Amino acid sequence: MSENELTPELIAFIKEQKDRHDIWQALLRYTRGVDRFDKDLMASAYHPDAIDEHGVAEGNADEFTDWAIGWHGENQYQHQHIITNHTVEIDGDTAHGETYYLFWGENREGPPTLAFGRYVDRFEKRDGKWAIAHRVCVNQYAGAFNPVDIPQEYLAMQRSTGPNTRDRNDISWDRPLKGSRGYAGQG
């Protein structure tokens, strides 16, 4: 047997890695969609009949995405959903995952919010697409923190990159990326 031979075991491994990749991409569509206020992108992480039990809100995918984008827009100037540790068990066209999250939000009133917990998801592969079929958000901590007193000139320099917007005007959508000052980087 050659080292480069496509054995049945290698083919099975490649198919499993593709499934894992597609599941991870669904999770990233969720975080980017909610943070950029892109309802279509966020909703694409879910099957249309999915249920999201988020603790503070729950409902089907359409109801939940409307609530999440509306709530963040009304209550925060900016926010980020960050996903980290991720495990998934795949069984055919069903998978069960656990993904740790961190959340930060600059509130319109009061100090910033910091929260963390886990997304416990059942994913299903339907018509070749992996998406969330059921989510339970396990909130392990949510609270406020006091920001560090940073000189205003330093804050102005930090905010000079961008534009930092919660829509498709955000710099992350620029293709090709030319940077906030309009020039291409050396690279």
Residue 173 CA to residue 166 CA, distance in Å, equals: 11
Residue 182 CA to residue 123 CA, distance in Å, equals: 41
Predicted confidence at residue 186, as pLDDT, reads 39
pLDDT digits (tens, 9 = 90+) for 130-175: 999 999 999 999 999 887 787 888 777 766 666 678 888 887 887 8
Q: In sequence order, what are the beta bridge partners of 58?
A: 53
Tokens read off for 44 = 């694409």
Q: How far is CA 161 from CA 20, 115, 155, 164, 179, in A?
A: 34, 26, 11, 8, 8
% helix / strand / coil in the chain, to the nearest 5?
A: 30, 40, 30
Annotated domain spans of the chain: 8-162
Q: In what order do the strands lie in the sheet with 76-91?
A: 58-60, 46-53, 129-144, 113-126, 94-107, 76-91
Predicted confidence at residue 143, as pLDDT, reads 93
Instruction: Check residue 162 and report its DSSP letter.
Output: -
Is residue 114 within 8 Å of 130, Cβ to Cβ? Answer: no
Q: In sequence order, what are the beta bridge partners of 137?
A: 119
CATH of 8-162, one of 3.40.50.12240, 3.20.20.70, 3.10.450.50, 3.40.50.460: 3.10.450.50
pLDDT digits (tens, 9 = 90+) for 13-71: 999 999 999 999 999 999 999 999 999 999 999 999 999 999 889 999 999 999 999 99
pLDDT digits (tens, 9 = 90+) for 100-127: 999 999 999 999 999 999 999 999 999 9
Q: What are phi and psi of 112, to 5 degrees?
A: -60, 155
Q: Is residue 82 helix, strand or coil?
A: strand
Predicted confidence at residue 163, as pLDDT, reads 66
Query: Of 87, 77, 45, 89, which is closest to residue 64 (Cα–Cα)?
Result: 45
